[in-house]
Amino acid sequence: MTERLVIVGASLAGLRAAQAARRSGFTRPVTLVGAEPYLPYDRPPLSKAYLDDEVPKKPFFRTDEQLRAELDLDLRLNTLATSLDPSRRVVALSDGDELEYSAALVATGATARTLPGAEKLVGVHTLRTLDDAVAIRAALDAGARTVVVGAGFIGSEVASGARKRGLLTTVLEALPVPLVRSVGEEMGHACAELHRAYGTDLRCGVKVTGLESAHGRVTGVTLDDGSIVPADLVVVGIGVSPSTEWLGDSGVQLHERDRGIVCDEMLSSGLPGVYAAGDVMHFPNPLFDGELMRLEHWTNAAEQGALAVKNALNPAEAKPSAVVPYFWSDWYGHRIQFVGVPKADEIRVVSAELGEDKFLALYRRGDRIIGCISIDRPAQIMKYRRLIMQSQPWADALELAGVS
């Protein structure tokens, strides 16, 4: 068997895995397989600075020369993994090549869901790739009437970019309150008020039934009451599906709900030598009583990419993935940050100075803090993340907030 590390997914998790392998002293071949034609790049700026900056910068982590020279990577870009054979320890590629591996990391991420018929229309986009961001920015710069389907964080950032340009912007959300799964109902209401305060037409509890078009270009979005919302640009932000189709015959366990890889706390897929990291997989998080989680967050991808490859290369000293979820989002010049998990017995609003652009709320489960959301309080959020990481009691969180 060839002693080779194969990383499938030229993502943040994939790059961090390659870096960690070299730093740990692994000197054998490392192959990085990426479906896109681009070098690994940073995804958060695609919906944040890339839509706002006057002269957007391409968000690549490293140049081709740096990746090949500093990390000695065998780069296979614009190439899909098509199957994994655990008995032969082989990953098959779309170009017909086969890669033998002693250890493999799956970091293929997820694919954005879209609306039926969207792929046939000009002006309808998801926002997952660099190409998506380029197309959306061009439409915004051209003054497009913008409709966002889904009031999640990515869609909300697109709405913010549209409103910054003074464009007519509508956000359509199927749930009565946006972001319930991410931050809870009460905090979802607070986030909704940000949209309305900046002139975005947020419509909750509505169902999209189709797309209107003329000459192959989108002209509007049809709702279940028969009304049509005019649009030159439609951005669909209704979630993602883990990119695991190529693993269907591998024998790896896939989650019954979304087909993400089910791993153990060491990030092992259960197949010999095969590990996973990032939003392609579920893992039991020991910090939250072993709750099975699939996290679509930057920090999680970065941390798990490094940990997974260390565990794969040295399973005798494997360590569990104990992660405090953390994400941030930029809306209308404000930074929303969340740490922990939203499923709580109590949510305590500590500060609700939305008029002064300040907000802080704490989440309690049992007798411990399990979450915190803030708006424009970047210095404080990480203090609460440390409390959650240490499983500190609720009283300590209240004391830090200056309340009882």
> How far is CA 286 from each of CA 84, 251, 294, 322, 369, rounded to the nearest angstrom?
29, 26, 14, 6, 15
Q: 204 forms bridges with which residues in the sheet?
A: 173
In a domain, 272, yes or no: yes
Q: Does residue 328 lie in a domain region?
A: no
In this prediction, residues 376-391 reach a mean pLDDT of 92
Structural domain total, the chain = 3
Mark whether 161 and 145 lie in a shared domain: yes
Q: Please indicate, yes or no, whether residues 11 and 107 belong to a single structural domain of this protein.
A: yes
Q: Taking all residues of the chain, what is their mean pLDDT, rounded to a whole number?
A: 94
In the chain, the amino acid numbered 226 is: G
Domain with 303 in it: what CATH number?
3.50.50.60
Domain termination site, one of 187, 216, 236 = 236
Give the range among 8-12, 302-306, 377-381 with minimum mean pLDDT: 377-381
Whether 327 is covered by a domain: the verdict is: no
- Same structural domain, 211 and 263: no
Regarding predicted confidence, which is higher, 68 or 121? 121
pTM: 0.94
What's residue 52's pLDDT?
A: 81
Residue 112: which pLDDT band, with cuts at 50, 70 and 90? very high
Q: Decide which of 190, 213, 236 is a domain's last residue.
A: 236
Mean pLDDT of 386-391: 96
Q: What is the mean pLDDT of residues 49-64?
A: 83
Q: Which whole number is the average pLDDT over 323-347?
A: 94
Q: Kindly report the CA angle at 386 between 382 and 389, in degrees rounded to 5?
A: 130
User: 282: Cβ–Cβ under 8 A, 6 or more apart, which residues?
Assistant: 255, 260, 261, 262, 263, 292, 293, 294
What is the share, in percent, of the chain residues with pLDDT greater than 70?
98
Residue 178 sits at φ, ψ, to 5 deg, of -70, 155
Which CATH number do you get for residue 397?
Answer: 3.30.390.30
Q: What is the DSSP letter of 118?
A: G
Evaluate whether residue 294 is within a structural domain: yes
Whether 323 is covered by a domain: the verdict is no
The secondary structure element, H or E, covering residue 283 is: strand 281-285
Name the helix (H) or strand (E) containing 133.
Answer: helix 130-141
Q: Same structural domain for residues 265 and 301?
A: yes
- In this predicted model, what pLDDT tens digit does every residue of 206-251 receive, in sequence order? 999 999 999 999 999 999 999 999 999 999 999 999 999 999 999 9
User: Do both 192 and 133 map to the same domain?
Assistant: yes
Residues 159 and 225 in one domain: yes
Domain with 148 in it: 114-236
CA proximity to 260, closest of 393, 142, 106: 106
Residue 371 near residue 340 (C-beta atoms within 8 A):
yes
> Given pLDDT bands bounded at 50, 70 and 90, which one contains residue 354?
very low
Q: Is the pLDDT of residue 353 over 90?
A: no
Q: Does any domain span residue 26?
A: yes
pLDDT, tens only, 279-319: 999 999 999 999 999 999 999 999 999 999 999 999 999 99
Q: Which residue has the higher pLDDT, 404 or 399?
A: 399
Residues 231, 120 share a domain: yes
pLDDT over 90 (residue 340): yes
Regarding whether 17 and 48 lie in a shared domain, the answer is: yes
**3-class DSSP state of 104:** strand
The answer to whether residues 126 and 232 belong to one domain is yes
The answer to the question of residue 66 being in a domain is yes
Helix (H) or strand (E) holding 396: helix 394-401
User: Which of 317, 341, 375 is the last residue in one of the domains?
Assistant: 317
- Contacts for 375 with CB less than 8 Å, ≥ 6 apart: 190, 194, 334, 335, 336, 337, 354, 357, 358, 359, 360
14-37, pLDDT tens digit by residue?
999 999 999 999 999 999 999 999
Residue 1: what pLDDT? 54
Question: What pLDDT sits at residue 352?
Answer: 61
Q: Contact 169/203 with Cβ under 8 angstroms? A: no
Residues 190 and 229 in one domain: yes
* Domain annotation covers residue 211: yes
Examine the domain organization and report whether 154 and 256 are in the same domain.
no
Task: Tell me the residue type at 345.
Answer: D
Residue 222 shares a structural domain with residue 249 = no
- Give yes or no for residue 343 having a pLDDT over 60: yes
Would you call 230 helix, strand, or coil by DSSP?
strand
Q: What is the pLDDT of residues 141-191, one digit of tens each?
A: 999 999 999 999 999 999 999 999 999 999 999 999 999 888 988 889 989
